[in-house]
Chain A
């Protein structure tokens, strides 16, 4: 394996961690929407923390080795697909970061409610169905798919 192979492998590994992590997080969040008991919601949101770790590691790998690949291959830094990919990477990271913060608050609320009798709560239900949080979480996943499309089609290359 030459240097290019290693860089590409680590970049693609990062992409799979991001995409796979988004799928895992989406699975657990979707399952949480169907639960009413706070203890069950808390369990699912704790599972989602593994997905968040995978997404974080993947975002780092894709950026570091993606930039290294651009330099190694000799792509122009101003090519449309590279600029768009970087903009969308920042957007996906920001959306995921804000959504993750709200998710942490929801998990903490679910854990507190579970410790206080585990009765269904309207506040928790409203938080789970908060349209802003849902838009941030699912929107960041859609942005990740858009980045994947850019990597395949490479417009402007």
Chain B
């Protein structure tokens, strides 16, 4: 068991950045869901949270993840890594769509659907992030 927990020192910094980025991303997406569901009138805060917190956190998580992937040189194509890539890369598309919808909602304050859509998409992505966290942590197969 101990051998499985030992990793080269050179992996530590990118891993730290990857986990930090993922943690901040979870919090930022969580904040987005809370604002959209509990304070839907705070549309400027919603757009600001996505633009200045969610997207930068995604960049940190994804690029640091790529950095450590290049260091580890994992053989084969394990499913846990595939889950991480899917949630990461498909997540960017979802987050950009979410940002555009939130921005649209800011320009059309009389319409309620944009904030609801942001709540649904962000909520689903939050669940996906926890699934990815489970896969990356337990590494099934």
Contact = CB atoms under 8 A, between A and B. Distances in A.
A79 to B, nearest CB: 12
Contacts of B49: 27
Given A9-B137, A47-B38, A73-B5, A152 B28 contact: no
A68 to B, nearest CB: 14
B1 A74 contact: yes
Interface stretch (B16-24, B70-78, B86-94, B116-124): B16-24
Contacts of B9: 153
Interface string B34-70: 1100110010010001000100000000000000000
A5 B23 contact: no
A1 interface: yes
What is the interface residue range for chain B against chain A?
20 to 34
B1 A73 contact: yes
Contacts of A99: none
A12 B26 CA distance: 13
B137 A19 contact: no
Contact of B53 (A16, A23, A148): A23
B23 A148 contact: yes
B31 A23 contact: yes
Interface of A is mostly: helix
A50 B26 contact: no
Given A152-B15, A153-B12, A24 B42 contact: no
Contacts of A6: 138
Nearest to A23: B27
B68 to A, nearest CB: 11
A21 B27 contact: yes
B16 A149 contact: yes
A5, A19, A152, most chain B CB atoms within 10 A: A152
Contact of A1 (B15, B27, B30, B140): B140
Contacts of B113: none
Given A24-B31, A31-B45, A47-B35, A12 B140 contact: no
A77 interface: no
Contacts of A22: 27
Contacts of B139: 5
Contact of B27 (A20, A31, A73, A74): A20
A43 B16 CA distance: 34
Interface of B: 1-2, 5, 9, 12, 15-16, 19-20, 22-24, 26-28, 30-31, 34-35, 38-39, 42, 45, 49, 53, 130, 133-134, 137-140
